[in-house]
Amino acid sequence: MNLFRYTLISLFSLLLCSSASAHKLWLNPANYFPEPGSTVEIGIGWGHKYLASRVHEELKEGMPEKIQAIDPDGEIVDLTKATDDMYKLEISKAGAYLITADNKPGFFTVTKDGRKWGNKTEITAKKSRCTNFHIGAKTVLMAGDSKTGFDRAAGQTVELVPLTDPAAVKKGDAFRVKVLFNGQPLADLPLKTAYAGFDVEEEEGSDPHAKKEDRPFPAEAVTDAQGEAELRVDRPGYWMISLSHKPPYPDKAVCDKYMYNMTYTFQVQ
């Protein structure tokens, strides 16, 4: 896959953060619909915004901690690391390839003196708030002419699963998805979706005084009781769904809450 084609696919310039300080991890496949026998480049992005080409914040050492693909037969397939922000996946058969990436989880505690890395047993301060953070990404490649297998779960703790064939999504369609938490449907979770080139700060008609996370995105939805939602995509191109789930931490003496910041990238034809 040449650099020019990869650059076209990486033309993202948008903010998809659940808070102004949140970082996101994302996957940028050079081809969402490869043919069996080909090799696909999988770009790794990190930061507040998708930027053009492979420009993003520098990956920290060990990022991502884990990246894997599950092939159409349910077998785990290793990706080959080409550079710090690029992996390669050999497509050996037709069907859906589920690709996930996850950073190493950790704790941070906010005190009156600012943010410190560690939980409440390590950071002793009055009126502190601790978060156990988990940051991950997912995408699905549809290889050949297969139209099945995309709705399998890959096993992430918080995971977005497409219910619509990603290869069939066209301009104006409703892309149906389901969100799982520990394998169970996750209800009442906001989803924000934007296309390549969208910038929430520059969107015409948006309130310039509103917080970034409160400004409208091209497609938004909240999951229903079955963890499902529909996101209407109004143009062809490359899109990303962003979600953040913050359930309580079971031991308040250690930490206050979890934070799962996850992304799902896909192409609208």
Per-residue pLDDT tens over the stretch 94-152: 999 999 999 999 999 999 989 999 999 999 888 899 999 999 999 999 999 989 999 99
Pairwise CA distance, residues 147 & 168, whole Å = 9
Domain residues of the chain, as ranges? 3-268
Per-residue pLDDT tens over the stretch 195-248: 877 665 544 444 444 445 555 788 999 999 999 999 999 999 889 999 999 999
Sheet strands (E) in the chain:
14-15, 24-29, 39-47, 49-50, 66-70, 76-77, 80-83, 86-90, 95-102, 106-111, 114-117, 129-143, 158-162, 174-181, 184-185, 190-195, 219-222, 228-232, 237-245, 257-268
Three-state DSSP class for residue 168: helix
Q: Rounded to two decimals, what is the model's pTM?
A: 0.86
